[in-house]
Amino acid sequence: MDVYTGTPISRLEIVERGGRRRFSDEAKLRIVEESYSGRRLGSATARKYAITRSQLNDWRDAARAGRLGPASSAGFIPAVIVPEVTATTSPPPVDGSRIEIVTSNGRRIVVDGRVDVDALLRIVRGLETLR
């Protein structure tokens, strides 16, 4: 057997290999929100934080499912402010007439001519918020 008889080692250097990193749920949410902030930012965000695109997609799924905290339940949908439409009241049409309304998301409403306009507006606004 060989015996080392050279100079004793006086300094030992530890080299980190870049093992597994841990991200907190808050950090994951912040990264996911950043990835939704514009068109085609998923890959760029993944590169910025040195994670894979599939890992970012897993975090996005977890955020949508609410597993990363309460902030994820909002779905990161940007708010859009639109001017309020004021309705003008007109005299009710003759009996037997019907009105068909198609909302911007494709929902159809058919009512008779004597419908309460205020109630109808509330219904239409509620249906437009549905996906």
Identify the domain containing residue 54 by its residue range.
25-74
Q: Are 18 and 58 in contact (CB under 8 A)?
A: no
Asked whether residue 33 is domain-assigned, the answer is yes
> 98 and 55, same structural domain?
no
pTM of the model: 0.43
Q: What angle do CA 16, 19, 21 make, to 5 degrees?
A: 120
Same domain, 69 and 108: no
- 63 occurs within a structural domain: yes
- Is the domain of 70 the same as that of 85? no
pLDDT tens per residue, range 88-110: 666 555 566 788 888 777 778 88
Q: Residue 43 and residue 76: Cα distance in Å, rounded? A: 18
Residues of the chain with pLDDT under 70: 1-5, 9, 15-18, 40, 70-79, 87-96, 131
Residues 98 and 63 occupy one common structural domain: no
Number of domains present in the structure of the chain: 2
Q: Are residues 67 and 85 in the same domain?
A: no
* The pLDDT value given to residue 55: 93
Residue type, 58: D
